[in-house]
Amino acid sequence: MSLKRRELLAGAPAAGLIGVLPTRSRDGAIGQDGSDIYQVDDVSTIMAAAREIIKEDWVGVLITIDASGMPRARPVGVNDPTDDWSLWISTRRGSRKTGQIEANPKAALHFGFDDIENGTKSSFYASFLGLASVHTDPQSIAAHGPPEQYRAQWPAYPEDLALIRFAPQRMEVMGKGIMPDQRHWQPQGLMLPPRA
């Protein structure tokens, strides 16, 4: 019997955009300081699975906070992670998401595949919490802008292009060989070091 997505999500707590501190725990204890991280596999295995997920599902869901404090979610195309795990997103200058990021840099980015047809056997996801920033400088555009085949979406490219740099501080991964805690279905995770 296959579980429907709603049945799977009904018992799962909603993920909040919480502050993150560089502490780790393997016991799954729930805390607000990052001590709720469940981790069994080594860091390199978890990071490799996350990279594979992003490569396979490069359209993620970016969540920002609007002026009233409500989360706003939308699909976005995401470049492969850089060596420091920065994730770059192309958008239009003046978009709502750029204004929201400039007012509040806290954000989340989620990638996933449900595999409902196969009873969720090959389901996976990677979720990231971190800080986002908006970049319109020529150096960032040259290094992280969209490939040429996508530039037609910006009629005045590069003048109407804005890049979002998402700098994850925490990641959680399930699938691609990374198994969750069986008691609570808590995914494995890790804290990422701060970057400039």
Q: What is the pLDDT, as a whole number, of residue 145?
A: 96
Please count the structural domains in the chain: 1
| Enclosing domain of residue 115 | 36-65+73-191
For residue 3, being part of any structural domain is answered with no
> Can you give the pLDDT at residue 78?
96
| DSSP tag of 158 | T
pLDDT at res. 34: 66
Is residue 141 one of the residues assigned to a domain? Answer: yes
Sequential pLDDT tens for the chain (196 residues): 333 433 433 333 333 333 333 333 333 333 445 678 999 999 999 999 999 999 998 999 999 999 999 999 999 999 999 999 999 999 999 999 999 999 999 999 999 998 888 878 888 999 999 999 999 999 999 999 999 999 999 999 999 999 999 999 999 999 999 999 988 889 999 999 876 6
Q: Is residue 2 part of a domain?
A: no
Residue 43 falls within a domain, yes or no? Answer: yes
Task: Supply the pLDDT for residue 182.
Answer: 86
The CATH number of residue 186's host domain is: 2.30.110.10
User: What's the pTM value of the predicted model, to 2 decimals?
Assistant: 0.80
What pLDDT shows up at residue 35? Answer: 73
Residue 3's pLDDT is: 39
Residue labelled with tokens 């196969």: 118
> CA angle, corner 169, sides to 37 and 140, nearest 5?
160
Compute the distance between CA of residue 54 and CA of residue 39 in angstroms, rounded to an integer: 20
Q: For residue 147, tell me if it sits in a domain.
A: yes
Structure tokens at 53: 């997920």
The verdict on residue 22 lying in a domain is no
31 domain residue, yes or no:
no
Cβ–Cβ under 8 Å, residues 196 and 167: no
Instruction: Classify residue 25: in a domain, yes or no.
Output: no
